[in-house]
Amino acid sequence: MVFDFETILVLVTLLTGITVAWAAFRRRRVKASGSYPDKEGWWIELCRSLFPVILLVLIIRSFFVEPFRIPSGSMIPTLLPGDFILVSKFAYGVRLPITNQRLFGDGQPERGDLVVFKYPENPSQDYIKRVVGLPGDQIAFEDRRLVVNGEPVPVEEAGSYTTPTDRGADMFTERLGDLEYNTIHQLSFGHPDGEYEVPEGHYFMVGDNRDRSADSRRWGPVSEELLVGRAFMIWMSWDTNNNTVNWSRIGDRIR
């Protein structure tokens, strides 16, 4: 079992719920015997107060919306370090906490989606990348240009970009289907070209900061079982360089 926040939340919910149920059962038995119930311990009152709140948080976080924080620059310029995002948990089917087993729903990622998933080499960590390859796709990178099933993805120069660490980069507008988004390249950190085949039940994920992202080019496609949800909005943004709120990004739709 992976002891991440989700696991801890489930265990605390179970512990407080069992405590409340046990206290209620004990109280009924004492009353039925004609005795006066003993004074309950402080921990029972605490569990009784916490249980409905924790249960509500678990339900919302597991089945509807979950917040995440962007810790690194692998998705620059779309997402910045310090962005806090919301992720739809039902976009790709409702799943059980911890096991991530699908309960119902048949939604599948589309090319261009920004997806949060469990890192294949350490499922206790959550990653976010852009889906560029679906099951059965042939993915290639030729001179840093994305090629899907033998067709180069349309791209246009979009000027220069200065990263939060003041490194200069070249920015490009990429079109994947009907979706447009920006990527950046920092040539001194380049990834080698390569070709990849996406197995059934897997997705090929890459970062928009193409030369500073550890992604499927390094550790392979991501299994459907590791998908967490689709990112859709920035609800808070903290400028890590100036230690202040980046008000202009709050409420931005993610695409």
Cite the active site residues: 74, 129
The answer to whether the CB of 209 falls within 8 A of the CB of 75 is: yes
Burial of 132 (0-12, 13-18, 19+ CB in 10 A): buried
The answer to whether the CB of 141 falls within 8 A of the CB of 207 is: no
Burial of 15 (0-12, 13-18, 19+ CB in 10 A): middle
Strand segments, DSSP code E, in 70-154 are 83-88, 94-95, 102-104, 114-118, 126-133, 138-142, 145-148, 151-152
* DSSP annotation of 165: T
CA 175: distance to chain centroid?
23
